[in-house]
């Protein structure tokens, strides 16, 4: 394909394009062919059908289920992790290759999860709130925090993020157990973790972090019954998907003061102004910012450009979405 001129469509809002593509990366795309932008809500024929390559992101519209006669689309390069909201599974069987940038995102998401874990163990949200109220004595009176070293941490999902988080907390001395039905004994040994059942994990861990994809079997799996298994004064961190956790049940536990939580994902985004989570002192909230670092965005853009260059040379992608794992990727 070296002699081919690619038609490349950037299906990204302007402010997202700037996150991923600096002048050097845009020049590399220009060298491969004709680059144009897709306008939101563009009327008429979907212009993405007339592109060989479509670069997509969080705000992109869902792609058609099938290619039609005359469609040029052959590669979707997604600047993100999950693609099920965007790419129908049927396209994978219709001559379209799909790549994503989850590998670039995982370290930053794991880093945020680590920060949130330590913040809750050390009761920093409560301490910070009392300090901002100029209540020095009240801040001093907050019960002593807990060290990650020696704490039993339960990781739900040995995904890319889950594995990066495991490495980080193990380096800080945590005792880590994992629930993941797809984790092999060999992989568990390599990660130096113990595989356990989900209920055993919840009953035995001070910290529970969620890194699983949303599937028919995982949706709502952390329900009221299972939340009640987490020991008193336990910590729940969710940087994966809100659909994995029964939010009303979690709110009830937080209101009771039995647990604390850090949440980067929500049932409704943006979070409703009337949502009870805003008012709870024992929850740390971030607005779906797990991967939001300048280095991560640059690496995501680099991955996308490199995949398009490989595609132009006729080489296989390095981060392709496979039909076999479509239903289980995050």
- pLDDT, tens digit, for every residue of 223-254? 999 999 999 999 999 999 999 999 999 999 99
Residues 195 and 224 in one domain: yes
Q: Are residues 206 and 263 in the same domain?
A: yes
Asked if residue 330 is part of any domain, the answer here is: no
Q: Which residues are within 8 A (CB) of 278 and not within 5 positions of it... i.e. 6 or more apart?
A: 271, 285
Q: Phi/psi at 272 (nearest 5 deg)?
A: -60, 145
**Residue 42 pLDDT > 70:** no
Verify that 279 and 298 share a domain, yes or no. no
On the question of pLDDT at 2 being above 60, the answer is: no
- 261 and 212 both lie in a single domain: yes
Residues 72 and 120 both lie in one domain: no
d(CA 237, CA 174): 15
Average per-residue pLDDT for the chain:
95
- The tokens of 8 are what? 């490349």
Summarize pLDDT for 178-226 with one digit per residue, the tens. 999 999 999 999 999 999 999 999 999 999 999 999 999 999 999 999 9
pLDDT band at 73 (very low <50, low <70, confident <90, very high): very high
- Residue 171 burial (C-beta neighbours within 10 Å; 0-12, 13-18, 19+): exposed
Answer yes or no: do 96 and 111 share one domain.
no
- Residues 7-38: tens digit of each pLDDT: 999 999 988 899 999 999 999 999 999 999 99
Q: Residue for token digits 């647990």?
A: 259
Check residue 241 and give its pLDDT. 96
- pLDDT score of 277 more than 80: yes
Percent of the chain residues topping a pLDDT of 70 = 98
Kind plus residue range of the DSSP H or E element containing 154:
strand 152-156
User: 55 forms bridges with which residues in the sheet?
Assistant: 10, 77
Specify whether the CB–CB gap between 33 and 6 falls below 8 A.
yes
Same domain, 12 and 137: no
- pLDDT bin (cut points 50, 70, 90) of residue 330 is low
| CATH code of the domain covering residue 53 | 3.40.50.720
Residue 138 lies in a domain: yes
Number of domains in the chain: 2
Indicate whether 160 pLDDT > 90.
yes
Region 283-300: what's the mean pLDDT? Answer: 97
168 and 246 co-located in one domain: yes
Instruction: For residue 298, tell me if it sits in a domain.
Output: yes
Q: What is the domain range of residue 189?
A: 105-285
Alpha-carbon torsion (293, 295, 298, 303), positive or negative: negative
pLDDT at 3 over 70: no
Compare 42 and 48 and report the one with higher pLDDT. Answer: 48
Q: Place 327 in a pLDDT band, splitting at 50, 70 and 90.
A: confident
Pair 173, 318 in one domain:
no
87 and 114 share a domain?
no
The answer to whether residue 1 is domain-embedded is: no
Scan for tokens 């209101």, then name that residue.
255
**Among 81-95, 105-119, 148-162, where is mean pLDDT lowest?**
81-95
Strand ranges for 214-270 from DSSP E: 234-238, 259-263
Check whether residue 37 and residue 141 sit in a common domain. no
Q: Which pLDDT score is estimated for 126?
A: 94
246, 124: one domain = yes
Cα Rg of the chain (Å, integer): 22
């Amino acid at each position: 394909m070296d002699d081919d001129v690619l038609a490349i469509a950037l299906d990204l809002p302007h402010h997202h394009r700037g996150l991923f593509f600096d002048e050097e990366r845009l020049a590399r795309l220009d060298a491969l062919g004709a680059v144009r932008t897709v306008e939101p809500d563009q009327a008429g024929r979907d212009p993405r059908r007339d592109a060989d390559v479509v670069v997509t992101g969080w705000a992109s519209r869902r792609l058609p289920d099938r290619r039609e006669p005359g469609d040029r689309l052959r590669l979707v390069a997604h600047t993100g992790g999950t693609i099920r909201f965007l790419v129908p599974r049927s396209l994978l069987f219709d001559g379209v290759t799909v790549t994503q940038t989850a590998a670039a995102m995982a370290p930053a998401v794991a880093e945020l999860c680590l920060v949130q874990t330590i913040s809750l163990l050390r009761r920093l949200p409560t301490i910070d709130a009392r300090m901002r109220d100029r209540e020095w004595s009240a801040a001093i009176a907050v019960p002593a925090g807990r060290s990650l070293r020696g704490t039993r941490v339960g990781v739900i999902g040995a995904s890319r993020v889950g594995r990066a988080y495991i490495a980080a907390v193990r380096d800080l001395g945590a005792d880590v157990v994992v629930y993941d039905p797809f984790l092999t004994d060999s992989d568990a040994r390599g990660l130096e973790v113990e595989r356990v059942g989900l209920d055993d994990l919840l009953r035995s861990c001070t910290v529970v972090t969620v890194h699983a994809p949303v599937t028919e079997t995982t949706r709502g799996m952390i329900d009221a019954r299972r939340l009640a298994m987490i020991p008193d004064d336990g910590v729940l961190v969710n940087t994966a998907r809100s659909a994995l956790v029964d939010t009303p049940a979690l709110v009830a536990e937080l209101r009771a003061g039995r647990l604390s939580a850090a949440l980067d994902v929500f049932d409704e985004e943006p979070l409703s102004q009337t949502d009870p989570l805003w008012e709870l002192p024992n929850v740390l909230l971030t607005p779906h910012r797990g991967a939001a670092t300048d280095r991560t965005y640059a690496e995501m853009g680099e991955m996308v450009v490199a995949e398009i260059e490989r595609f132009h040379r006729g080489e296989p992608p390095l981060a392709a979405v496979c039909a076999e794992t479509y239903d289980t990727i995050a």
